[in-house]
């Protein structure tokens, strides 16, 4: 990245030098010797916080690393930046906005004084309004002649990913109402959902902050046509709109009593804490949703009140920064050993990479360091039979995270024991590896060839973090998601970037709007767009038009 040579420095030369020196030592020594040097490492590098336990002992975390990042945090005035987040300062400088999503789960804001006190009132009013609207909708549903069996949640990105995760994680195995999530404009997804639904027992919830999102409105139009084709004269009476722009929802045709609002200052990828999660709340109950908010608020308090040396959000972000900038790790893998968390990676991909996938510092100059890693992963033992080969023997350093739930919500305990055994074993194997002598000892009676023995060598010393939840309760899930939110904030502060805009998604949307009429109008129009598109794209347009 050539811009690194000309950018404003956001990390001092002395801190950079110390971290580079430590990284060379860590790469040479590995992680295993740290357990010999620090007999109580497992206990000392594990942290109990509200909602979960997190174990950093199998990473390169050390007292030396913590000390350097403590000085780094002091140099960049981390405490004041954290205060700015919670006090409602306009830390989203490029858009001139405050970042206020923590108010959604704690409208009293832990007693922290706000720069604009009216936002506290707005949060309190929003929460009270959501409760009132939730109760009204529940009352409407009870008066229906046909019980609701299906809810189609239509939204994209932050208007869907978090709600889907909450629904899958917390509604339980016995939920009688199914929620189908439609985000993709690809009608194959929509058609597959509609084939499972009956118009007489289906509700539609359209979620869009502006209620102008093209994909969402087109999907809503198609669903409304489906209602009409199946004999419903007034399809929008079955539609609810969740938005920060109630006027736009009304203009679309959503009945006013079916419009659920949230404040304009709620950002898309932080909107899971708001009425955007209406569909999940309707199925799991408002009490569970309140518990979900309370779990997040507990992590808010931990993050705000705890020094960086024992603050799990900062420590996780510190390791992300260290691995990405000084140990050449370009990605981070996340593996949830619980089927109910199957959408967690999708959610975190948006949260982290849309927030921190930036090449501009806060002052607009090019970055002088790596920002967001590639976030990827999977669920449970499925991925052990695919990507774990690369984790154990691949040539790239990939820090991995394992999320385990101690107690399941089913009684097939032999299944869960097997699941936990696999998750714990993978973290142990990534650390220990196995050398040639170990292979020979383990397979002494198998007469393996020298080539086969060498193929079974694993280097080990590959970092992993383990997050252990006692049970997947609403509070635990809220705490887990709040942890990842504050970790993302810390990563942005360390990299000196604005984590709260998303300019990178805009260019592609604008070009799609330009390109669509060309595809609709014919080849001659496509040829006229040569000045607007590159030769490769123009060639593809022409091939599509044939």
Q: Which residues are catalytic?
A: 354, 385, 509
Residue 39 structure tokens: 């007999």
| Spatial CA neighbour of 345 closest among 332, 329, 355 | 332
Q: How far apart are CA 415 and CA 542, in angstroms?
A: 54
Q: How far apart are CA 347 and CA 159, in angstroms?
A: 11
Q: How far apart are CA 438 and CA 164, in angstroms?
A: 45
CA 477 to chain centroid, in Å, comes to 12
Q: Under 8 Å CB-to-CB from 543, ≥6 apart: which residues?
A: none
Q: How far apart are CA 431 and CA 469, in angstroms?
A: 22
| Spatial CA neighbour of 321 closest among 86, 63, 29, 72 | 72
Q: Under 8 Å CB-to-CB from 518, ≥6 apart: which residues?
A: 525, 526, 529, 541
CA distances from 170 to 85, 182, 203 (A): 29, 19, 20
Based on its alpha-carbon atoms, the radius of gyration of the chain, rounded to whole angstroms, reads 25
Q: How far apart are CA 428 and CA 84, in angstroms?
A: 40
- Edge to edge, the sheet with strand 202-207 lists 178-182, 150-154, 202-207, 239-243, 259-261
Q: How many CB atoms lie within 10 A of CB 40?
A: 9
């Amino acid at each position: 990245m050539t811009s690194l040579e000309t950018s404003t420095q956001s990390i001092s030369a002395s801190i950079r030098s110390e971290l580079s020196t430590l990284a060379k030592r860590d790469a040479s020594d590995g992680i295993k010797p740290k357990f010999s040097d620090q007999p109580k490492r497992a206990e000392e590098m594990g942290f109990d916080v509200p909602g979960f336990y997190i174990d950093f002992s199998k990473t390169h975390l050390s007292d030396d690393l913590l000390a350097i990042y403590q000085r780094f945090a002091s140099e960049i005035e981390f405490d004041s930046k954290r205060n700015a987040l919670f006090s409602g300062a306009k830390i989203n400088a490029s858009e001139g906005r405050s970042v206020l999503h923590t108010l959604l789960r704690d409208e009293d804001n832990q007693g922290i004084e706000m720069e604009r006190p009216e936002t506290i009132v707005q949060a309190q009013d929003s929460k009270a309004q959501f409760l009132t609207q939730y109760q009204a909708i529940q009352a409407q549903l009870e008066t229906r002649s046909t019980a609701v069996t299906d809810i189609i949640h239509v939204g994209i990105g932050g208007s869907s990913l978090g709600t889907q995760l909450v629904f899958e994680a917390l509604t339980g195995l016995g939920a009688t109402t199914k929620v189908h999530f439609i985000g993709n404009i690809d009608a194959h997804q929509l058609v597959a959902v509609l084939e499972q639904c009956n118009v007489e027992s289906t509700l539609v919830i359209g979620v869009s902050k502006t209620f102008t999102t093209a994909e969402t409105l087109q999907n809503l139009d198609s669903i409304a046509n489906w209602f009409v084709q199946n004999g419903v004269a007034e399809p929008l009476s079955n539609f609810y709109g969740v938005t920060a722009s109630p006027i736009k929802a009304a203009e679309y045709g959503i009945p006013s009593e079916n419009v659920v609002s949230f404040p304009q200052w709620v950002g898309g990828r932080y909107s899971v804490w708001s009425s955007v999660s209406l569909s999940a709340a309707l199925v799991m109950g408002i009490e569970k949703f309140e518990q979900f908010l309370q779990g997040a608020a507990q992590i808010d308090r931990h993050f705000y009140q705890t020094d960086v040396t024992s603050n799990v959000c900062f420590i996780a972000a510190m390791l992300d920064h260290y691995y990405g900038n000084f140990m050449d790790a370009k990605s981070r893998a996340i593996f949830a050993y619980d089927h109910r968390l199957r959408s967690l990676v999708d959610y975190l991909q948006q949260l982290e990479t849309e927030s921190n996938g930036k090449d501009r510092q806060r002052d607009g100059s090019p970055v002088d360091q790596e920002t967001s890693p590639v976030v990827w992963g999977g669920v449970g033992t499925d991925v052990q039979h695919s990507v774990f080969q690369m984790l154990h023997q691949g040539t790239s350093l990939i820090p991995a995270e394992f999320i385990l739930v101690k107690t399941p919500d089913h009684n097939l305990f032999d299944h869960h024991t097997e699941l936990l055994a696999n998750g714990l074993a993978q973290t142990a194997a990534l650390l220990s590896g196995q050398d040639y002598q170990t292979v020979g000892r383990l397979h002494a009676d198998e007469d393996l060839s020298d080539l086969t023995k060498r193929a079974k060598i694993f280097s080990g010393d590959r970092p992993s973090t383990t997050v252990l939840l006692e049970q997947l309760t609403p509070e635990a899930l809220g705490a887990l998601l709040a942890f990842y939110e504050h970790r993302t904030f810390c990563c942005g502060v360390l990299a000196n970037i604005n984590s709260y805009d998303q300019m990178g998604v805009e260019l592609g949307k604008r070009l799609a709007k330009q390109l669509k009429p060309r595809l609709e109008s014919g080849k001659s129009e496509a040829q006229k767009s040569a000045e607007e598109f590159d030769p490769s794209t123009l060639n593809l347009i022409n091939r599509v038009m044939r």
